[in-house]
Chain A
């Protein structure tokens, strides 16, 4: 299977300004961003697209569902469950972090603590790791 030229990251964030900033920054860093403003939109997108993203950038608290519910949807399909998920949230309470990591999330990061140019390398790193494993 031929590897894509540009890695693709699905960004799920219900705050449009943040979604815009993240997507723009990813594009600037040579990553194709699939912007989704809700959990449902993301699931639909995964369902309809022929190619799966290399990583998912997930906000924990979405308007229609939370991170745990979204992880539940991902785990329904074996292929989806393989996509590395990085949670970037405003709230990182111990139980949330614990639950998300247990459900397969790779990292749980606190939004306001990181600059975008600190976050992009982390995402890139997971894509690379996942590709090596694949």
Chain B
């Protein structure tokens, strides 16, 4: 950079010193040149005096001998002077250019990068002040050059330090960003490591890419062993009923193939022989509309299951204990009403009947609670038998007919002729029909109509129970299958009811492989539908049956 500057500074001297003279001697011969010029001048002076004198004599003699006028003599003298002058000028001009050429050469020397170089030219004529001026100029130039250089250097240094500062800042910034990224990564890793839930991340094929310590602990696989293996093969899953879940029904597989979040409760088979009950959330990782993997978070719910089991056991035990006094009340009321302790007067009979009715409701509630605890605990036995739905419905109708007749309600049954025998648990499905028909009768004003339609749709048996009763208010629609929920409108009309019937019906239908839904308009009526697979319900081993 400095070189460039010095060049630009010295380029300006080119304009002062045109490069037209080539013959240059070295600067060290300055004294010699001076001597040469001195002798040259002496020779010229001598030569001039001699020629002028000779020519003057010659002219004088010529004028005398040819008898010419004085004008000729003067003219001859002028010519002589002029010739002399020309010769002197020629000689002197040579001694003037030489130092200039030298000066130029020296300038070039300075230009090469030696501003301290002094011009060594000495002349005898009035150009002799040139080297000094040149040196002065060089000095000035040098001063200005250095001043300029200093200024430039200072500017450049400033710019440079500014740039360095900027670079440092950028470096600092990128270092900070790098550190931040590292911290974030460490934090993520720490989070993943400390998280209580098992976390598994797979690629789109289901190969394990991330396997956190909780996952290691829950599956007995170490991260290094699990990495790169297929998740579905590494940790097999069983349903709560004890069936091994095929790959296509695994939650992670569903998340990967459907791109949707999947929830489930499975039993994972640990490495070795252990099992663990887990609640699973499998979420696809979607990038630019493409599933690039999936993340599964699973939680050990063995403890929750145990609490749930204890709760169920408590309900079961409590219900059984409740049944003893209920039985005593039932039987004593029965004996009183039978007149076993003597005839009762009508009023006594009425009161005793009220006690008996309330007691029956209590028995029914306890039975429902027991059934729910049985279904919820998964301990219920599902024992499918080839069942004639037509016969099953007729039996159910005969049971509820006493109540519907009391209310002068008409029951219409329509069953398609091509309904085959279906492999379902008749005791369970009967409970669904009983609940739906009891509700239809209870929540339809006297004189109303209840209809049952049984049809086939694809591979499903569809049962429809409709009424033209009170209907379900819109605000209750999403709660109707909840435990203990009763419609806002019907609690005012019909006090009897525990809000467990539909919950139980739903639980039974779903455990039988079907679905339940409804349509209702408040004040006009309700239609409940449920489907059952024509292929039948899978048998399930268990410990309890309904109403046992």
Q: Which residues of A contact B (CB under 8 A)?
A: 15, 17-18, 21-22, 24-25, 28, 90-95, 97, 110-113, 115-117
Contact B328 A95 (CB under 8 A): no
Asked whether B338 is an interface residue with its Cβ less than 8 Å from the other chain, the reply is: yes
* 8 cross-chain pairs, A with B, having the tightest CB-CB distances, nearest first: A92-B548, A90-B323, A21-B331, A17-B328, A111-B327, A112-B323, A90-B320, A112-B363
B544 at the interface (CB under 8 A from A): yes
**Closest approach, in angstroms, between the C-beta of B492 and any C-beta of chain A?**
30
A14 to chain B, nearest CB (A): 9
The answer on a CB contact under 8 Å between A21 and B323 is no
> Are A21 and B320 CB-contacts (below 8 A) given A93-B548, A94-B545?
no
CA distance A115 to B327 in the complex (A): 9
Within 8 A of A (CB), among B346-367: 363, 366-367
Partner of B323 from A17, A22, A111 at Cβ < 8 Å: A111
Within 8 Å of chain A (Cβ to Cβ): is B326? Answer: yes
Q: How big is chain B's contact interface, by range? A: 20 to 34
Q: Tell me, rounded to whole Å, the shortest Cβ–Cβ distance linking B315 to chain A.
A: 13
Q: Complex formed: what's the CA distance from A128 to B277 in Å?
A: 54
**CB < 8 Å neighbour of B335 from A18, A25, A93:** A25
Say yes or no: B547 contacts A113, CB within 8 Å.
yes
Contact B331 A25 (CB under 8 A): yes
Jot down 30 A-B pairs with beta carbons below 8 A, ordered by A.
A15-B324, A15-B328, A17-B325, A18-B327, A18-B328, A18-B331, A21-B335, A22-B331, A24-B335, A24-B340, A25-B340, A28-B335, A90-B320, A90-B323, A93-B543, A93-B545, A94-B543, A94-B545, A95-B543, A110-B547, A110-B548, A111-B324, A112-B323, A112-B327, A112-B330, A112-B363, A112-B366, A112-B367, A116-B331, A116-B335
Determine if B97 is an interface residue (Cβ-Cβ < 8 Å). no
B546 to chain A, nearest CB (A): 11
**Which B residues contact A (CB, under 8 angstroms)?**
320, 323-328, 330-332, 334-335, 338, 340, 363, 366-367, 381, 542-545, 547-548
Give the residue among B334, B363, B366, B543 with the most A Cβ atoms within 10 A.
B334
Residue of B nearest to A91 (CB): B320
Q: How far is the CA of A21 from the CA of B334 in the complex (A)?
A: 10
Q: Is the interface of B mostly helix, strand, loop or mixed?
A: helix
Asked if residues B328 and A21 are in contact (CB atoms below 8 Å), the reply is yes
Considering the complex, give the chain B residue whose CB is closest to the CB of A27. Answer: B340
Q: Are B334 and A112 in contact (CB under 8 A)?
A: no
Give A98 to B338 CA distance when docked, in angstroms: 34
For A92, list chain B residues within 8 Å (CB): 548
Q: Specify the chain A residue showing the minimal Cβ separation from B340.
A: A28
Chain A residues, CB < 8 A from B335: 21, 24-25, 28, 116
B548 touches A91 (CB 8 A): yes
Residue of chain B at shortest CB distance from A22: B331
B332 touches A90 (CB 8 A): no
Residues of B within 8 A of A115 (CB): 330-331, 334
When chains A and B are docked, how far (Å) is the Cα of A15 from the Cα of B322? 12
* A77 CB → nearest B CB, Å: 31
For the complex, give the distance between the alpha carbons of A95 and B545 in Å: 10
Smallest beta-carbon distance B400→chain A, Å: 17
Complex CA distance for A18 and B326, rounded to whole angstroms:
10
Residues from chain A with a CB closer than 8 A to the CB of B548 are: 91-94, 97, 110
Report the Cα distance A113→B363, complex, angstroms.
Answer: 8
Expressed in whole angstroms, the Cα–Cα distance for A22 and B334 within the complex equals 11
- Among residues of A, the one whose C-beta sits closest to the C-beta of B330 is A112
- Identify the closest chain B residue to A95 (Cβ): B543
Distance of A60 from chain B, by nearest CB (Å): 10
Distance of A112 Cα from B367 Cα, bound (Å):
9
When distances are taken between beta carbons in the complex, the residues of chain B under 8 Å from A113 are 547
Docked pose: A37 CA to B544 CA in angstroms: 28
User: For the complex, what is the distance from the CA of A92 to the CA of B319, rounded to whole Å?
Assistant: 13
Inter-chain contacts of A21 with B (CB < 8 A): 328, 331-332, 335
